[in-house]
Amino acid sequence: MIKIKFPDGSVDEFKEGITPKEIAEKLPSSIRKNALVAKFNGKLIDLNEKIKKDGEFDLLDFNTKEGRETFWHSSSHVLAQAVKRLYPEAKLAIGPPIEEGFYYDFDFLNIGDEDIKKIEKACKQIIAENLQFKRKVVSKEEAQRIFINEPYKLELIDDLYGETISIYEQGEFVDLCRGPHLESTGKIGVIKITRLAGAYWRGDSKNKMLTRIYAISFPTEKEMKEYLEKIEEAKKRDHKKIGKEMELFDVKNEGPGFPFIYPKGMIIWNELLDYWRQEHKKAGYQEIKTPIILSRELWEISGHWDHYKDNMYFTKIDSRDFAIKPMNCPGCILVFKSKKHSYKELPLRIGEIGLVHRHELSGVLNGLFRVRSFHQDDAHIFCTEEQIESEVVGVMKLVDKFYKVFGFEYFVELSTMPENHIGTEATWEMATNKLISALNKQGFDYKINEGEGAFYGPKIDFHIKDSLGRSWQCATIQVDFSMPERFDLTYVSEDGREDKRPIMIHRVIYGSLERFIGILTENFAGKFPLWLAPVQAEIIAVSDSFNDYAEKVRDALDEAGIRVELNSKSETIGKKIREALLQRVKYIVVVGKTEEENNTINLRDGYENKVIGEMKVESLIKQMKEEIAEKRL
């Protein structure tokens, strides 16, 4: 008999060789019905795999990240089978799950809209056939025979696999795969192809360009319908489109991946930075600015020259090698090293809005979301081991305060020691326990990502959820043992020792300022909270004869510190209002004969596109100033 421990802590005994599917028979029907894959001792396994030892056991459904990945990975095999049925000459490459859905790469002729419909229809047929996913382990030689007509699979067999290889079969289709997979194709409700793209084999531009088919799948038609509706709404909120319409920002062919922020975009930028500086000053941070170009020797010490070189840009100055910084940390370290420090100065909190450059392939660039230059709201905390927990709690409180201002819900993940790491296990355990204690003190529910910490220490990541339910990883807190060691950082301890090593905590809140503005733009669909809005009010006169009164109203708002514009174009009132609505102006102020006689304005809410009515200018100013001061959503 073997002992199986369940997530609720209960333990039960089962016969050796039992499968997850058989264990599920003893669990509630809702769990059994929705189970897609099992997790045993931290490893994902098929529902039909035999369990032969004691361990911790869980069943995962589509609501879990690992469950979705298994679902989408299995769906990629269905997509590949459909393509091979329709186009036997197509050669198979790879088909992994991705953040949202999956793709499969093929070597075959270009396909169009009619082909997409045929492939989706073939996928539907394969799902209806309810084919079993069967795992087999074969020798390298047998795998080479099976894939004799699949050159890309043969290359993978030679390069990535040992003497035994796992394959998965469903009906007539077979693929190289470590798994796990669903029980059968019938578990998949519906597959939808989302787009086509070109992709170099193994990401190398020297290799052949393949056809990449992106797709997504769900257990039910209802979930697919909801997803497609969300995608349509996301298109309307596309920050690239809104950014141009509102004249906020753009990316040009002359600088691919290097954003241009326009005057109205700079208003949002500066408001975010003003708030950042205000709150960080309260929290005891000092601000610095470090150069964007630093010598090769510095990046060799930090390890970036050896491990991050492909993502960096370089230059020569007076025959010396320099690099444009991809990260702010080494510059901050040089500031710390510029003088001797005492334990009395710790924790030392140093912030920097640092401009960094990282090389990204042109195919992945995406507005403000994926760029080659961006500003990080970095801060580095130099502290003692005893101070780690309290400093992490302080950062958590700051993160929570910021995200509440924008109305973001968020969830938290803790990533622990990876296989390849520096430092002793005892040090890792100490730091991880301090992060866990800090999380518990703040009452956070959190997911643990075993073995996914940075090589230099454990970390906590914050994922915000936007108005469409999408998640974005922004804030992070990382404990670092490596940099203080590499750069020989020290402080004078209480007992007078001058070689005491500080701990370094890396943290960001916005993450990338550019990306955060992109997220805000899509989250609010350009209808920013009033304190961030580039134009907070627009004055419109019903005709040119009331321009003088319109200017008087504008001046009153301007003197009160309101960002206001006057539309004095010789256009109809309807066209002026439509233009203000397109610019996402919240307060549209209309003036005419009645308003001039009564010394009032007529107010329209541009976000709701509804008339509020006549009111005094003073009342409007009071209302707006309160809304701005409270950072009201």
Instruction: Evaluate the omega torsion of the peptide bond into residue 502 and state whether it is cis, within 30 degrees of 0.
Output: no
Strand locations in 162-295 (E) = 164-170, 173-176, 190-200, 209-218, 249-250, 260-261, 286-287, 293-295
Helix (H, G, I), strand (E, B) or coil at 421: coil
Query: β-strand 55-60 against 2-5: which pairing, if any?
Result: parallel
Residue 265: CB atoms within 10 Å: 22
Rg (CA), the chain: 29
Q: Which two tokens stand for residue 85?
A: 């049925």
Helix (H, G, I), strand (E, B) or coil at 173: strand
Give the neighbor-by-neighbor strand order of the sheet with 164-170: 134-139, 164-170, 173-176
Burial of 347 (0-12, 13-18, 19+ CB in 10 A): middle
Strand locations in 22-128 (E) = 37-40, 43-45, 55-60, 91-92, 97-98, 101-107
State which H helix or E strand residue 538 sits in: strand 537-541
Main-chain dihedrals φ then ψ at residue 320, nearest 5 degrees: -100, 145
| Cα 110 from Cα 213, distance rounded (Å) | 11
Residue 114: CB atoms within 10 Å: 8
Active site residues: 329, 358, 376, 378, 380, 459, 506
For residue 352, list its beta bridge partners: 378
Q: Which two tokens stand for residue 157?
A: 């067999």
Nearest to 427 by CA among 484, 483, 479: 479
Q: What region does 511 belong to: left with phi over 0, alpha with psi -120 to 50, or beta?
A: left
For residue 594, list its beta bridge partners: none
| Cα 49 from Cα 20, distance rounded (Å) | 7
CB 343 within 8 A of CB 494: yes
User: CB-hemisphere CA count at 13 Å for 74?
Assistant: 32
